[in-house]
Amino acid sequence: MSSLPLQQAISTTLNLMKVGDSGVVEDVQEQGDAKDDSLFNITRRLKELGFVKGEAVKVLHKGYFGGEPLAVRIGQSTFALRNFEAALIGVIPGVSHSGKVGT
């Protein structure tokens, strides 16, 4: 198995990952208008739940219609996220917490 530094790996967002895919959280985007308090509250809440840089994440299930909600495991906890929430979470897919690809 090869290993790449996290900075060299290609990132995606959690909503684009398939069921069974895993990776490491890269960041939580604060997209949109800076004056939008609801978006700020959502990104803050995601960070409070454990979606922070370096944390392992895995997609467990996607809903049948529209792919939502997404069931994801972060650390030892499982959460259901809406697509727009998952789209705020940057992930480096196929990288374990140790930084190795494909483990």
- Could you report the per-residue pLDDT of 25-82, keeping only the tens digit for each? 999 987 655 556 788 889 999 999 999 999 999 999 999 988 889 999 998 999 999 9
Cα–Cα dist 88/15, whole Å: 8
pLDDT value at residue 75: 87
What token pair was written down for 44? 């803050």
pLDDT value at residue 84: 93
pLDDT value at residue 34: 54
Three-state secondary structure readout of 38-78: HHHHHHHHHHHHCCCCCCEEEEEEECCCCCCCEEEEECCEE
Cα–Cα dist 99/103, whole Å: 9
pLDDT value at residue 101: 40
